[in-house]
Amino acid sequence: MQTRVLGSSGITVGPIGLGCMGMSYAYDKAEQDDARSTAVLQEAPSLGVTLIDTAPAYGVYRNESLIGAAYEGRRDEVVLATKCGLYPEGPDNALIRDGRPETIIAGCDDSLRRLRVDVIDVFQLHRVDENVPVEESWGALAELKAAGKVRAIGISEATIDQVRAVHAISPIDVIQSELSLWTRQWVNDVLPWSSENGVAFLSYCPLGRGFLTGSMPVGTTFDKGDLRARSPRFTVEAIEANQAIVDVVREIAEAHDATSAQVALAWLLTVGPNVIPIPGTKRPERLRENAAAADLVLTASEVQRLNDLPAPAGERY
């Protein structure tokens, strides 16, 4: 089985992981089905999908509990990655950044309990708290690693200056940020830095929140409970403009008798040996499709065509 390494931790994982947010949060609630998601989680290791990514913020802590139950008794089959510093609070469960060391340390204990494990494989600062020096937040993660409660530490959506600052305190094992054929804001600084310093780069939303699969024709709209309904990149006008991106991906997919999703994931694997896409899915058939992307070999000219795709219409948020 192909493997990739999580920084200096020495932890090895399959080249494509599984992002679990959509199982409990963010998208169409009618599509959320714990039994079906559990089937996805339990099948994943047999397909080489061993990195499982979650967070307290997903579904008001429900996602971690779902994963803990799914892997009870199968702990050695997966690498569990969760997060800290972003939590649902208040009557409406709004996501609040809290990077205080004491909150991070307490949050780790809570995640250990929900995941039903003795150690968390990868513990990541979900978002930097503007009210707390990032060095203080990172110090708490380093303390947890030294105490043996976590095996590897990471940071998400951090700037190059923040990355350099925390790496000087304790080495980063993992950086997790959005990266795909239509989100490339990190390619000129954080991404090359991660490669040069042997840090794994976990690519979340590698399928552009579903858009790069080619399953959103012109005129697609979303229910108000779906976060894409509030995204400038998913307005009716933006979806129409961005069909040009999907058209190229689809053309390359047809040449390989593959799917657009597989092309989008295969492209990410060419970006660097430290890049690990973590596409999310709630369906077993999509899990298998995504896992098979690791075997898709794009030609040099196809990679160049994908590299040259235009920037998408609409900002991320």
The set of catalytic residues is 58
Distance between CA atoms of residues 260 and 212, nearest Å? 7
Identify residue 127 by its one-letter amino acid code. R
**CA atoms 123, 154, 261, 4: torsion sign:** negative
Distance between CA atoms of residues 124 and 174, nearest Å? 8
Which residue, among 180, 125, 132, 196, has the nearest Cα to 154 in the 3D structure? 125
Helix, strand counts (H, E) of the chain: 11, 12
- Kindly compute the dihedral angle of the four CA atoms of residues 62, 63, 64, 69, in this order, to the nearest 10 degrees: 90
Give Cα 154 to chain centroid, integer Å.
Answer: 12
**Strand-strand pairing, 51-53 and 4-5:** unpaired
Which residue, among 230, 299, 296, has the nearest Cα to 269 in the 3D structure? 296
Distance between CA atoms of residues 196 and 238, nearest Å? 35
Instruction: Tell me the C-alpha to C-alpha distance, in Å, between residue 244 and each of 102, 115, 175, 256.
Output: 48, 42, 30, 19
Burial class (CB in 10 A: 0-12, 13-18, 19+), 314: middle
Distance between CA atoms of residues 97 and 133, nearest Å? 13
Tokens of 47: 């397909």
Q: Tell me which residue has tokens 């006008």.
A: 237
Gyration radius of the chain over CA positions: 19
**CA atoms 116, 117, 123, 128: torsion sign:** positive
